[in-house]
Amino acid sequence: MPAELAFSANDLAQMRFAVSPMWELGTSFKLLNSGSAHPVHHRWLDQVRPRTVAAGLDRGWLTELIRQASYVPDFLNPAPTGPAPTLGAELAGILATPAERVRRDLDRLQREQGPLGPRLRTLYAQPATQLVRVAEEIQTYWELALAPYWARIRAVLDADVLHRARQVAEHGAVHLLNDLHASVGWDDNVLRLARRTNPLSRQTAGAGLLLIPSAFTGAVPLTRVMPPDPPQLAYPARGIGSLWEAPPVAGAAAVAAVLGRSKTLLLTELETPASTTELARRTGLSAPAVSQHLTALRNAGLTSAHRAGRSVLYARTAVAESMLAAAESDRR
């Protein structure tokens, strides 16, 4: 029997989209820690898994909180207050979680997935102080696994939101909801979720609906229901299949005419995030020259830097991705 969520005109008026770093963090960590391969994310997994293992994240707080079964403690996904909150804003929401909510979520985790580990028993006893340690590990995972790729991931999520917004403008909200996923359907003012096993009603959910496109949810939409927050529905974003494909760079000669050959070479090599040492090895440039060029590219908003243990990973920004894509389009 599918779960059913009734909608009033007020609920429909409060429906909105948001891009959430914490949704991507939790779902990506579950995939990473599963130890399995993935037809879409295998390149990301191959790059990120060694870093997180080296940092001990395969045996830390997140491993105890984000297990392979379906339920993840709700306090890890605070309702986004705007369309695109930063990770810092969402961490602030996690740190502000009342102690009774933390314990209620941990009680459910224990009921559904077995006894709490030693860290979570400490979190249960001292939520306020131990949430700080959870937040520190979340920040570490973000810097290692998602921050260097965020421009690329965010571009896919934003494109999905724009597509859905156009659907609403051209065909109405009912068409949008019926098109989200095969397991989601709208009929007679009721949203039906075929894959959700727990009952769902407006008495157990807040007003409205928060739609969250995600790159890592997998094939099945995920829900979070914790009143008075609006219910959250995280669904697979469109375009995930091309997320890790290398963009064409045949038009890089046009970029080189502006930036110079060395800087353009570094941008094309940053298809995947890399350190100064790795870039020097790949390009034949000296490490000091790579560092100088990367600093100039970063000052121009074309690269970003992310701490990964003792090294720093550089990544292309969305501006750089757009510039290379535009050069390729002009070449054609």
Nearest CA among 101, 37, 30, 25 for reference residue 71: 30
Rounded Cα gap, residues 98 and 91, in angstroms: 14
- Provide the pairing of β-strand 184-187 with 16-17: unpaired
Q: Is 160 left (phi over 0), alpha (psi -120 to 50) or beta?
A: alpha
Alpha-carbon span 203 to 154, nearest angstrom: 34
Residues of the chain with pLDDT under 50: none
- Longest pairwise C-alpha distance within the chain: 66
Residue 248 to residues 187, 194, 229, Cα–Cα distance (Å): 43, 40, 43
Helix axes 276-283, 261-269, angle to 10 degrees: 110
Predicted local confidence at residue 176, as pLDDT = 92
Instruction: Output the pLDDT for position 196.
Output: 80
Q: Which two tokens stand for residue 134?
A: 């959870």
Separation of first and last alpha carbons in the chain? 52
Token output for 112: 């559904």
Alpha carbon separation from 67 to 23, 62, 166 (Å, rounded): 15, 8, 36
Q: What is the pLDDT of residue 329?
A: 57
- Can you list the alpha helix ranges (DSSP code H) found in the chain? 9-13, 21-33, 42-54, 61-65, 87-95, 99-113, 118-125, 127-141, 150-171, 173-179, 252-259, 261-269, 276-283, 287-299, 318-331
Collapsed DSSP state (helix, strand, coil) of residue 49: helix
Q: Which phi and psi (to 5°) does residue 191 adopt?
A: -95, 125
Q: Which pair of tokens denotes residue 145? A: 């696994």
Residue-wise over 265-282: b if at least 16 C-beta within 10 A, else e? bbbbbbbbbbbbebbbee
Going from the C-alpha of 97 to that of each of 74, 112, 205, 230, the distances in angstroms are 10, 21, 18, 16
- Residue 257 is predicted with a pLDDT of 74
pTM of the model: 0.83
